[in-house]
């Protein structure tokens, strides 16, 4: 039955290339729905749906998307998404198909087990099992997919899996040194690896990778390449708590910024600049800069996007550190909502956000006397951390320390600290790059 439906779907897709055909798209959508209903009737968990590999990418995305409407198919969806060949078919496709795939990842994780760690392991295993010599074009295609996937894993919070995937990519790149694209691909891969190592708090490893990256641009004159590397170095130093050094590299990146610089890079420069200003106790100036980053991210990429979420995270942490607890809690609650909708509830990001929420509500409890909300958040963070990353004992231990602090209740020293308040600029107008530079240099004078 399933193979018959696949034949119908492929026929519909073939007809879709015929000028004037209006029924093919409807037929393909209807066939995808029928296919999914048939899967729900006959397929059992543990039995692979082999005919999925025969579907065109667009139809495959539709079928997987339809599977999200059946709670009974969540385990089956999880199983199929863990297949690296099937997953990459949609992941490397158009943005619409990729967004559908991300929705599928969220629904599949509702069984209490995220897809991405298992998928990363299977992808690495598949690449390492390829023993026969392959041409560079084939290597290049796999390298690009692997780097993109490694970067996505980091964005979704799976930093150790990201490093493993990127290490495989570097190994593959080393097998094609004779190609002119070798150095460019290697630099992109090393940049992503540095970011993942920094997020994993592997400072010594990240320092070594950072030195390698700086060596790679010694003879580079391309402003865009230099700007992106400077940003990675600034980010690395920020994560290593070397704020002055981070600001030095942020400034070097800002000097190279032009109107043609990507919005992603502009937003990141604004974030790093605001961190420095908050760290320097210039809270009003920091708020002015981070407002530009947050609004630019929301306008450019939308509400449900990792870049917008990242700006919220930066702002929330700065607010907590500047003792603007109530403002920080509002931002963190919005951030949690965005992350849940973008990556789902079963991601390391949720562990981190809930730990910050626990600390924020604990600080608020110094005046309210209620620690129950703080305790609920830290308990959820600990439970999720043990479920998602039991090997990260240092994180689980740190969460336990926060819980112990909350259980002690009132702290007279914290209770005596007066809370600050700060708000984003509602009267927002997106500044040009020239205006951003001028404002940043004025704020630092």
Minimum mean pLDDT range among 93-107, 145-159, 237-251:
93-107
**How much of the chain, in percent, has pLDDT values that exceed 90?**
64
**Sorting pLDDT into bands at 50, 70 and 90, what band is 445?**
low
| pLDDT (mean) for 325-349 | 96
Using the Cα atoms of residue 210, residue 211, residue 216 and residue 219 in order, give the sign of their dihedral.
Answer: positive
| Residue-level length of the chain | 445
More confident residue, 147 or 128: 147
Residues 6+ positions from 87 with CB-CB distance below 8 Å: 81, 101, 119, 123
Residues 6+ positions from 375 with CB-CB distance below 8 Å: 358, 403, 406, 407
> With contact defined as beta carbons under 8 Å apart, do 237 and 245 qualify?
yes
pLDDT at 20 (0 to 100): 41
pLDDT at 444 (0 to 100): 72
Minimum mean pLDDT range among 99-103, 139-143, 289-293, 313-317:
139-143
Residue 54 has pLDDT above 60, yes or no: yes
Residues 6+ positions from 305 with CB-CB distance below 8 Å: 297, 342
**Sorting pLDDT into bands at 50, 70 and 90, what band is 43?**
low
Minimum mean pLDDT range among 213-217, 327-331, 412-416:
412-416
Exposure of 150 in the CB half-sphere (CA atoms within 13 A) = 27
Minimum mean pLDDT range among 46-60, 77-91, 264-278:
46-60
User: In Å, how far from its chain's centre is CA 443?
Assistant: 31
pLDDT at 427 (0 to 100): 61
Residue 2 has pLDDT above 60, yes or no: no
Task: Give pTM, 2 decimals.
Answer: 0.91
CA distance 59 to 9: 8
Residue 8 has pLDDT above 70, yes or no: no
**Sorting pLDDT into bands at 50, 70 and 90, what band is 21?**
very low
**Sorting pLDDT into bands at 50, 70 and 90, what band is 45?**
low
| pLDDT (mean) for 154-162 | 97
| pLDDT (mean) for 217-234 | 95
Q: How far is CA 163 from CA 116, 119, 170, 351, in A?
A: 13, 14, 10, 20
Q: Is 269 left (phi over 0), alpha (psi -120 to 50) or beta?
A: alpha
**Sorting pLDDT into bands at 50, 70 and 90, what band is 53?**
confident
Average pLDDT, the chain: 88
**How much of the chain, in percent, has pLDDT values that exceed 70?**
90
Residues 6+ positions from 423 with CB-CB distance below 8 Å: 287, 327
> With contact defined as beta carbons under 8 Å apart, do 194 and 236 qualify?
yes
Stretch(es) of the chain classified as CATH 1.25.40:
114-219
**pLDDT tens digits for 384-422?**
999 999 988 999 999 999 999 999 887 777 776 777 787
Question: DSSP letter at 220?
Answer: -
- For residue 202, give both structure tokens: 């592997």
CATH of 114-219, one of 1.25.40, 1.10.1200, 3.40.50, 2.60.40: 1.25.40
pLDDT at 19 (0 to 100): 38
């Amino acid at each position: 039955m399933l193979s018959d439906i696949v034949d119908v779907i492929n026929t519909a897709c073939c007809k879709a290339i015929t000028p004037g055909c209006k029924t093919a798209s409807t037929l393909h959508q209807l066939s995808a729905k029928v296919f999914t209903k048939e899967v729900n009737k006959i397929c059992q968990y543990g039995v692979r749906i082999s005919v999925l590999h025969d579907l065109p990418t667009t139809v495959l995305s539709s079928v997987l998307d339809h599977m999200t409407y059946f709670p009974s198919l969540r385990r089956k969806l999880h199983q199929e998404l863990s297949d690296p060949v099937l997953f990459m078919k949609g992941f490397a496709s158009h943005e619409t198909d990729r967004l559908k795939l991300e929705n599928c990842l969220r629904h599949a994780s509702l069984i209490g087990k995220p897809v991405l760690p298992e998928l990363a392991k299977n992808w690495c295993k598949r690449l390492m099992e390829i023993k026969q010599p392959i041409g560079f074009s084939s290597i290049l295609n796999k390298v690009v997919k692997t780097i993109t996937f490694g970067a996505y894993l980091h964005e979704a919070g799976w930093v150790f899996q990201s490093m493993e995937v990127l290490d495989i990519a570097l190994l593959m790149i080393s097998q094609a040194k004779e190609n002119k694209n070798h150095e460019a691909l290697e630099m992109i891969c090393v940049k992503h690896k540095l970011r993942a190592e920094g997020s994993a708090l592997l400072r010594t490893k990240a320092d070594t990778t950072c030195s390698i990256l700086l060596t790679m641009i010694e003879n580079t004159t391309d402003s865009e390449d230099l700007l992106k590397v400077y940003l990675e170095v600034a980010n690395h130093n920020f994560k290593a708590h070397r704020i002055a050094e981070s600001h030095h590299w942020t400034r070097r990146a800002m000097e190279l910024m032009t109107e043609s610089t990507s919005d992603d890079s502009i937003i990141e420069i604004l974030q790093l600049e605001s961190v420095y200003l908050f760290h320097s106790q210039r809270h009003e100036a920091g708020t002015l800069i981070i407002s530009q980053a947050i609004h630019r991210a929301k306008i450019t990429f939308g509400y449900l996007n990792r870049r917008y979420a990242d700006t919220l995270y930066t702002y929330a942490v700065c607010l907590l550190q500047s003792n603007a607890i109530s403002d920080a809690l509002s931002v963190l609650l919005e951030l949690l909502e965005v992350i849940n909708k973008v990556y789902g509830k079963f991601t390391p990001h949720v562990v981190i956000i809930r730990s910050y929420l626990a600390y924020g509500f604990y600080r608020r409890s110094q005046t309210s006397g209620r620690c129950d909300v703080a305790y609920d958040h830290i308990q959820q963070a600990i439970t999720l951390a043990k479920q998602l990353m039991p090997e990260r004992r240092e994180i689980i231990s740190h969460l336990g320390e926060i819980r112990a602090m909350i259980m002690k209740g009132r702290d007279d020293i914290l209770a005596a600290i007066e809370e600050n308040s700060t708000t984003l600029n509602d009267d927002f107008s997106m500044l040009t790059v020239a205006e951003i530079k001028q404002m940043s240099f004025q704020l630092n004078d």
